[in-house]
Amino acid sequence: MTTPRPGTVVLDPTDEREPIRRQLAPRPEHIQGTIGLLDISKPRGNVLLDQIEQRLHERYPAVEVKRYRKPTFAKPAPEDLRRQIAEECGFVIEALAD
């Protein structure tokens, strides 16, 4: 494994009562609303996502499943696709990298 590249070290401008770092989004107790399945467009990922979608319909009939696809796996998703997913979905499963 290569040496990790250094990040930028900065000093905390606050009174330090809260951590200042990236954190995971808070999670709800249950899967509900809309789940987005984002295909990163590597071959065969769609088969996996099809099956996940199927199982979601079986297990959570009330939950809406939306499918999305990046134009290429080589770059992050385009800005407007990200925004669309963020607006439409409460959860995202991104697949499948190999």
| Rounded distance between C-alpha atoms, residue 53 and residue 21, angstroms | 33
Shortest distance (Å) from residue 45 CB to another protein: 8
Shortest distance (Å) from residue 64 CB to another protein: 15
Shortest distance (Å) from residue 53 CB to another protein: 9
Matching residue, tokens 């297990």: 59
Binding residues (CB under 8 A) for another protein: these are: 1-2, 4-17, 20-31, 35, 38, 40, 42-45, 47-52, 55, 70, 76-77, 82, 85-86, 89-98
The answer to whether the beta carbons of residues 26 and 56 sit under 8 Å apart is no
User: How far out from the chain centre does Cα 6 lie?
Assistant: 25
